[in-house]
């Protein structure tokens, strides 16, 4: 009798262990458990931790509640301004209702992927090329709204949508490069013209100041000579100062006086003038050792 009782207890314990092993389930922290009993959905969604189900009768499906990163394959389309582009994106979404994600859609990941591709093509057709290149934030928001509306009925929430890259044809890239180059050249020419205008105004002001003081021109000439003669083994052609020529013109006799004195000996000023011209024609050695040759200009030149 005792042996039969012990055998029955052992059998019951073994059956209990088998039942517990078949009924015990563990739901992870990032998962939720959805139970179907005879194919019907149970209202209670099992939270994370240890849980029990009825073997053979219940079926437990675990749904991942983490944010899923899904790349959207590159879609080729024509923009509103008739430019062919290839655009790829990435979608971040998560399951907010585990029961709806299993019951309302067969495969929510595949459904979100197809909806993202369709919405991306629609966005390409509604946008201009400039918007795709520079106004991506607005396009991302519009794409997110297009995906979030149907996804909420599947128990899925779209967390974020980002356009990754926009690929352009090579011909379009070259055209844009030429346009950018032309624009930069235009700006460079405008800047150079503005600089020339400012420089001409300053030169006009300097000329006005120098015209009031003729000696300033000679000082400027000497500065130029010093700047050029700083380089060794350089030859400088030095023009005769205009003031010296004017002095010689004033000292020369008038035409009538020259005829009256035709029989008189030559005027000594002419000899002094010739001597001065011969002296100025000789090369002048400057302080730096460079050869400086003055250029002689005739009065009528």
| Digit-coded pLDDT (tens) for 142-184 | 888 888 888 888 999 999 999 988 888 888 888 888 888 999 9
What pLDDT shows up at residue 285? 44
Percentage of the chain beyond pLDDT 70 is: 76
Q: Tell me: pLDDT of 272 over 80.
A: no
What pLDDT shows up at residue 1? 67
What pLDDT shows up at residue 206? 84
**How many angstroms separate the first and last alpha carbons of the chain?**
151
| Digit-coded pLDDT (tens) for 103-113 | 989 899 999 99
With bands split at pLDDT 50, 70 and 90, how would you rate the model's confidence at 135? confident
**Lowest-pLDDT choice from 71-75, 96-100, 165-169, 192-196:** 165-169
* Cα→Cα distances 267→4, 14, 272, Å: 166, 151, 9
Report which DSSP code applies to 282: S
The mean pLDDT value for 71-96 works out to 90
Q: Which residue has the higher pLDDT, 40 or 258?
A: 40
> 223-231 long-range contacts, Cβ below 8 Å, gap at least 24?
225/286, 225/292, 229/286, 229/287, 229/288, 229/290, 229/292, 230/288, 231/290
With bands split at pLDDT 50, 70 and 90, how would you rate the model's confidence at 239? low
Highest mean pLDDT among 126-140, 192-206, 244-258: 192-206
Q: Which residue has the higher pLDDT, 212 or 238?
A: 212
Strand bridging mode 291-295 / 236-239: parallel
Q: Tell me: pLDDT of 126 over 50.
A: yes
What pLDDT shows up at residue 291? 45
Q: On the CB side of 97, how many CA atoms lie within 13 Å of its CA? A: 14
Averaged pLDDT of the chain = 79
Q: Greatest CA separation found in the chain?
A: 179
d(CA 110, CA 49): 29
Report which DSSP code applies to 97: -
| Digit-coded pLDDT (tens) for 183-232 | 999 999 999 999 999 999 988 888 888 777 777 777 777 787 777 777 76
d(CA 115, CA 127): 18
d(CA 219, CA 214): 9
Helix then strand then coil, in percent of the chain rounded to 5, is: 55, 25, 20
Percentage of the chain beyond pLDDT 90 is: 23
Q: Tell me: pLDDT of 274 over 60.
A: no
Q: On the CB side of 142, how many CA atoms lie within 13 Å of its CA? A: 15
With bands split at pLDDT 50, 70 and 90, how would you rate the model's confidence at 247? low
d(CA 271, CA 241): 20
Q: Tell me: pLDDT of 17 over 60.
A: yes
The mean pLDDT value for 246-265 works out to 58
With bands split at pLDDT 50, 70 and 90, how would you rate the model's confidence at 248? low
* Cα→Cα distances 26→35, 57, 98, Å: 13, 18, 16
The mean pLDDT value for 64-83 works out to 90
Hey, which bits of 82-212 come out as E strands?
Answer: 84-95, 156-167
The mean pLDDT value for 119-135 works out to 87
**Lowest-pLDDT choice from 9-23, 24-38, 57-71:** 9-23
Is residue 165 within 8 Å of 88, Cβ to Cβ?
yes
What pLDDT shows up at residue 14? 79
d(CA 15, CA 22): 10
d(CA 273, CA 288): 29
Hey, which bits of the chain come out as E strands?
Answer: 24-27, 31-37, 40-46, 49-52, 58-64, 68-78, 84-95, 156-167, 236-239, 284-285, 291-295
d(CA 91, CA 109): 11
Q: Which residue in the block uniquely carries the two structure tokens 């966005």?
A: 123
């Amino acid at each position: 009798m005792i042996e039969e009782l012990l055998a029955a207890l052992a059998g019951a314990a073994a059956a209990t262990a088998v039942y517990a092993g078949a009924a015990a389930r563990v739901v992870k922290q990032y998962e939720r458990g959805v139970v179907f009993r005879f194919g019907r959905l149970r209202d209670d969604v099992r939270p994370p931790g240890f849980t029990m189900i009825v073997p053979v009768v219940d079926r437990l499906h675990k749904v991942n509640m983490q944010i899923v990163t899904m790349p959207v394959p590159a879609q080729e389309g024509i923009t509103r301004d008739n430019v062919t582009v290839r655009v790829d994106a990435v979608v971040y979404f998560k399951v907010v209702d585990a029961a709806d994600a299993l019951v309302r859609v067969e495969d929510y990941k595949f459904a979100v992927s197809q909806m993202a591709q369709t919405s991306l093509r629609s966005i390409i057709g509604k946008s201009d090329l400039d918007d795709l290149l520079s106004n991506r934030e607005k396009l991302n928001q519009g794409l997110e709204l297009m995906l979030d509306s149907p996804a909420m009925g599947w128990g899925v929430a779209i967390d974020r949508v980002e356009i990754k890259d926009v690929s352009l044809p090579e011909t379009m890239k070259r055209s844009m490069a030429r346009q950018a180059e032309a624009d930069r050249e235009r700006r460079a020419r405008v800047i150079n013209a503005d600089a020339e205008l400012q420089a001409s105004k300053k030169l006009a002001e300097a000329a006005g100041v120098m015209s009031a003081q003729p000696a300033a021109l000679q000082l400027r000439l000497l500065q130029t000579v010093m700047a050029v003669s700083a380089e060794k083994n350089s030859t400088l052609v030095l023009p005769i100062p205009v003031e010296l020529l004017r002095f010689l013109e004033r000292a020369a006799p008038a035409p009538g006086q020259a005829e009256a004195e035709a029989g008189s000996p030559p005027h000594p000023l002419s000899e002094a003038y010739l001597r001065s011209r011969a002296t100025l024609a000789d090369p002048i050695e400057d302080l730096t050792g460079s050869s400086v040759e003055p250029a002689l200009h005739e009065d009528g030149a």
